[in-house]
A and B are shown apart, each in its own frame.
Chain A
Amino acid sequence: MIIEGLAIGALINTVYNLNKAVEMDERALKKYAKAFEQHEEAELLVKRKAEYTDKRLSNVAKKKRAIIQNTVPRFTKVYGQIQKVNVQNKAEKREIILKNSTERLSVLNAISISVKKEFTDKEFVCGLITKGFARTMVMDSEKYLSAANNQMRASNVVYSQAQSIGEIYDAIAGRADRIAKLLMAMNALFVKSITETERVITTNGLDVRRYSEYDKGILMTCVNIAVAMSDIIDVPVVDEDGVLCDSALKMIETGEQYIKQMNSLIES
């Protein structure tokens, strides 16, 4: 027909554009692969950090248990000779707080899958007429590449969020290690103090009011350390009232908002 008469001149351009379309499809596929790979890496990053932090938290729990099971009974036995000691158990509540806080961080938002919207028949025909077959194929490939690029962009944001989550896990692990170190140091002090208390009681008997100022000071210090130990053991690693928690939450929520917006755009 009439249109056919112009086809010969466009042949070379058609071949070039079709080749371009094929190239773009290959690039699009590679982009998708990279995007999903990066998403996997983001999840792996968070998983590894979570596992490491879990180990550090377990270490704290171990130290606390050791103190409660070994040092505290000794204190009760020694100091209990001159004053009645009541020891209450709080371990179970503490563990639940720790568990829930770290679990919240493990979930990374699932990102929407960015797919190329196929041309409708009408759009395809319009494309054929206004832009020609080759250009329509290129446009189709451009759409595919665009969808793949968008997947990559979404995955970049998710990875950044994963890095933020990783930062929080690092902070938790850092705090856990500091608490563990403090517990060990305090325990050493506690043990030494109990030994001194035992010496004082053995030397002076059970009537504290007849002790010298120095000896009373040793007993008072032992009790202060005991109470301090119970306070320190009671402190949660993830301090939900602390400033670290506030800024961590803000950071996570910001990331979640952006991921949500990204998903909406991709799905539109």
Chain B
Amino acid sequence: MSNKKDSDISDSFVPISILKPVANKKLGITQEYNKENRDKLWDSQKGKTEYKEKIFENRQTYHDPISGEVLHKSQKAAQNKYHMKNKQGENVSSTWANHSAETDHINALKDVHNIAKHNPFLTDADFKEVMNSEENYRILPKSLNTAKGDKSDWQLIADKDSDISLEGKLYMAKEKVIADVTLQSKFATKTAQNIGNEFVSGATDTLVNSVIPLTAEAVRKMIHAAQGKQSLEEAASDIGKAAVNVAVAGGVNKLLVDVISAQTNSNQSKILNNIVNSGEFSKIIAVATIVQESAAKYINGEITGEEFVEEVGEKGISMVAGMIGGQVGQEIGGIIGAIIGSAVLPGAGTVSGYVAGEAIGRVLGTIITTVACSAIVSFFHTSKHLEDYKLKDYQIRKLESEALKEIEKQRNEFHHIVEHQYKIWDDTIMNNFNQIITCACKETFNLQGVTSGLANILSLFGKDVAFKNLTEYESQLDMPLTLSF
């Protein structure tokens, strides 16, 4: 590492809370979605107009890669050219709509609002800014925009009866992925910024528990961001590029892996706990799910930091390719596979290199610089214990088996003891009663036999006869006889 001071810092902690505070931000997106709120708070006609101007540049027409049609910048021009009205001024044709350009949101405001409104760390302004990013805009023919209705892009792509060509669908998929990742990244960045500001307002420095390996350069970028020398977003995209370059290059360069081993004292951080427990926890770390398996393997020590970055790079490419292939249907999956493998689209480079590079870059940058790092570790540990009930199940089952066995064993022993005792009883009583009766008969009277028979019966209770012989009996005749009943 070139900078020892940075190295010292990177070995200890990254103080996210040194971010510039934004004063008086009103957190929380307006919950109700309607036309009035959309127009007032979230839509941007200015943004759409500027985007259209940018795409058309100084031209009046534009070749749309999705529909394959030539689109006119001006709706009036399209209507005139494609004879919407007859000489009498009646509307006779709607062909013009296939050639009139409109700026469309790739991810619809309504769809994203439905999800983002649950994030307590975004504002209406944040939402508007992110949703009107260039990456979320595209130019579409008016007719396609209208026909699309509520369908998602993936549904259009997967629709075999759609008029959109294969190349058009590929282009749509590429734009969709970029838009998705950009929105996720930007929302996550905004969330982290706002959270960071919340920390500044009351807490001490926040320590991030990150076991995700970072390159030395990435560490320096983080420090710069934390010290305010670079914006969080700039740092994120720079870090993303650095990681992608290494991965694409095949991992030949040795990475200087620095692990930041500071701790998130999340028990004291109400904010972090709120994030973890909020309904939008999954959305904040949604981007991280792309790499979660790799992150888990790294946390478990199954792969090194270098392998982690390489794996994420590979995984990102195959994930993007898999999405496109899967969505367009099996019969053209093979064609897509060939395209992704080696084909070149005119003017856009390889699909995998361009799309994956952008996507992975932003993904990595987002993971590294937001609380998602601690969230990955946190939810990884939580997910490990999701099935603890199975262990309890096993313990109770074992205890039951042992208990039933032992209780039954003792019950059988008891039964045996009882049977044995009662046999002794029955035999003793029967034999000695027989003896008493035999000896008590006048003809065969035997005082000793009667007395011993009685004595034997009484011995069952630990007792004995009162008088064993006549001498003992006669000696007490002058005293009262005491009996207890």
Interface residues of A (CB under 8 A from B): 1-6, 8-9, 67-68, 72, 79, 82-91, 117, 119-123, 125-131, 139, 142-143, 146-147, 149-150, 153-154, 156-157, 160-161, 163-164, 167-168, 170-171, 174-175, 178, 182, 185, 189, 208-209, 213-214, 216-217, 219-221, 223-235, 243-244, 247-248, 250-251, 254-255, 258-259, 261-262, 265-266, 268
A262 lies within 8 A of B403 (CB): yes
- In the assembled complex, how far is the CB of residue A164 from the closest CB belonging to chain B, in whole angstroms? 5
CB distance from A137 to the nearest CB of B (A): 13
Cα(A232)–Cα(B429), bound, Å: 13
A228 and B115 alpha carbons, distance in the complex (Å): 92
Chain A residues contacting B480 (CB-CB under 8 Å) are 83-86
Q: Contact at A254–B429, with CB atoms within 8 Å?
A: no
Nearest-neighbour CB distance to chain B for A120, whole angstroms, equals 8
What residue in chain B is nearest A121 (Cβ atoms)? B277
User: With a CB–CB cut-off of 8 A, which chain B residues contact A149?
Assistant: 393, 396-397
CB neighbours (8 Å) of B292 from chain A are: 129-130
- By a CB distance below 8 angstroms, the chain B residues around A128 are 282
In whole angstroms, how far apart are the Cα atoms of A259 and B399 in the complex? 10
Q: Is the CB of A146 within 8 A of B389?
A: yes
Whether B410 and A250, one on each chain, are in contact in the complex, defined by CB atoms closer than 8 angstroms, is: yes
The docked-state distance in angstroms from the alpha carbon of A262 to that of B466 is: 54
- Whether A160 lies near B407 (C-beta < 8 A) is yes
Q: A4-B154, A244-B417 are in contact. Are A90 and B484 (CB under 8 A)?
A: yes
B418 touches A2 (CB 8 A): no
Among A2, A157, A189, A259, the residue within 8 A (CB) of B290 is A2
Chain B residue nearest in CB terms to A147: B389
The residue in chain B whose Cβ has the minimal distance to the Cβ of A189 is: B436
Interface of B (DSSP majority class):
helix
Q: Which residues of A contact B176 (CB under 8 A)?
A: 5
**Are B474 and A258 interface neighbours, CB within 8 A?**
no
Q: How far is the CB of B85 from chain A (nearest CB, A)?
A: 42
B279 at the interface (CB under 8 A from A): yes
Chain B positions within 8 Å of A231 at CB level: 458, 461, 463
Answer whether residue B252 sits at the interface, using C-beta atoms and an 8 A cutoff. Answer: no
> B461-482, CB under 8 A of A: which get 1 and which 0?
1010111001001100101111
Residues on B with beta carbons closer than 8 Å to the beta carbon of A122? 276-277, 281, 378-379, 382
Q: 11 more A-B contacts (CB under 8 A) besides A5-B176, A174-B418?
A: A8-B327, A84-B480, A119-B386, A123-B385, A153-B400, A167-B418, A178-B422, A221-B440, A228-B466, A250-B410, A259-B403
Using Cβ atoms and an 8 Å threshold, which residues of chain B touch A164? 407, 410-411, 414
Chain A residue contacts of B107, Cβ below 8 A: 1
B408 at the interface (CB under 8 A from A): yes
Q: Which of B183-210 contact A (CB under 8 A)?
A: 183-184
Does B181 belong to the interface (CB within 8 Å)?
yes
Cα–Cα, bound, A88→B483 (Å) = 6
Chain A residue numbers with a CB within 8 Å of B481 are 79, 83-86, 223
Contact partner, B414, options A174, A224, A248, A259, Cβ 8 Å: A248
Tell me if B483 and A230 are in contact (CB < 8 A).
yes
Q: Which of A123, A163, A216, A217 has the most CB of B within 10 A?
A: A217
Is B180 in contact with chain A by the CB < 8 A criterion?
yes
The answer to whether A224 and B466 touch across the interface, beta carbons within 8 angstroms, is: yes
**23 contacts across the A-B interface (CB closer than 8 A):** A1-B183, A2-B177, A6-B322, A8-B327, A79-B481, A83-B481, A85-B483, A89-B485, A119-B386, A121-B278, A126-B383, A150-B396, A153-B397, A156-B404, A164-B410, A167-B414, A216-B474, A227-B483, A228-B454, A228-B463, A251-B407, A254-B406, A262-B403
Which of B223-231, B331-339, B444-452 lies at the interface with chain A?
B444-452
- B66 proximal to A (CB < 8 A): no
Q: Verify A87–B407 contact, CB threshold 8 A.
A: no
Selected contact of B281 from candidates A125, A142, A258, CB within 8 Å: A125
Of all chain A residues, the one with the shortest Cβ separation from B485 is: A68
- Verify if B265 is at the interface (C-beta below 8 Å from A): no
Residues of chain B having any CB pair with chain A under 8 Å: 107, 115, 152, 154, 158, 176-177, 180-181, 183-184, 276-279, 281-282, 285-287, 289-290, 292, 322-323, 326-327, 378-379, 382-383, 385-387, 389-390, 392-393, 395-397, 399-400, 402-404, 406-408, 410-411, 413-415, 417-418, 421-422, 425-426, 429, 433, 436, 440, 445, 447, 450-451, 454, 457-458, 461, 463, 465-467, 470, 473-474, 477, 479-485
- B415→A220 contact, CB < 8 A: no
Q: Which of B115, B184, B451 contacts A224 (CB 8 A)?
A: B451
In the assembled complex, the Cα of A85 lies from the Cα of B470 at a distance in Å of 19
- Of all chain B residues, which has the CB nearest A139? B386
Closest to A144 in B: B389
Residue of B whose beta carbon sits closest to that of A251: B410
Complex CA distance for A218 and B353, rounded to whole angstroms: 122
Chain B residues within an 8 Å CB radius of A250 = 410
Whole-angstrom CA separation of A259 from B286 in the bound complex: 46
Write out the residue numbers on chain A whose beta carbons fall within 8 Å of the beta carbon of B413: 247, 251
Q: How far is the CB of B104 from chain A (nearest CB, A)?
A: 17
The contact of A157 among B385, B404, B436, by CB within 8 Å, is: B404
Say yes or no: A168 contacts B414, CB within 8 Å: yes
Q: How far is the CA of A197 from the CA of B278 in the complex (A)?
A: 98
CB contact under 8 A between A1 and B180, given known A146-B393, A208-B477:
yes
B-side contacts of A131, CB under 8 Å: 383, 386
Identify the closest chain B residue to A168 (Cβ): B414
A142 to B387, CA, bound (A): 9
Min CB distance A204 to B, Å, is: 14
Q: Is A2 a contact of B181 with CB atoms below 8 Å? A: yes
Bound CA–CA A214/B400 (angstroms):
67
Give, as a whole number of angstroms, the nearest-CB distance from B220 to chain A.
Answer: 29
Q: In the assembly, what is the distance between CA of A72 and CA of B481, in Å?
A: 13
Compute how far the CA of A214 lies from the CA of B279 in the bound complex, rounded to whole angstroms.
103
- What is the CA–CA distance of A157 and B276 in the complex, to the nearest angstrom? 41
Q: Say whether A234 contacts B400, CB under 8 Å.
A: no
In this complex, what residue of B is CB-closest to A120?
A: B277
Query: Shortest CB–CB separation between residue A175 and chain B, in angstroms?
Result: 8
Query: Which of A84, A160, A213 contacts B408 (CB under 8 A)?
Result: A160
The answer to whether B470 and A216 touch across the interface, beta carbons within 8 angstroms, is yes
Q: Tell me the minimal C-beta distance from A217 to chain B in angstroms.
A: 4
Contact residues in A for B483 (Cβ distance below 8 Å): 72, 85-88, 226-227, 230
- Considering residues A82, A117, A126, which has the most beta carbons from chain B within 10 angstroms of its beta carbon? A126
Determine the chain A residues whose CB is within 8 A of the CB of B327 once the complex forms.
Answer: 5, 8
Q: Is the CB of B184 within 8 A of A2?
A: yes
User: Are B474 and A209 in touch, CB under 8 angstroms?
Assistant: yes
Task: Tell me which residues across on chain A come within 8 A of B385, comparing CB atoms.
Answer: 123
Using CB atoms, name the residue of chain A closest to B451: A224
Give chain A residues whose Cβ lies under 8 Å from the Cβ of B407.
157, 160-161, 164, 251, 254-255, 258
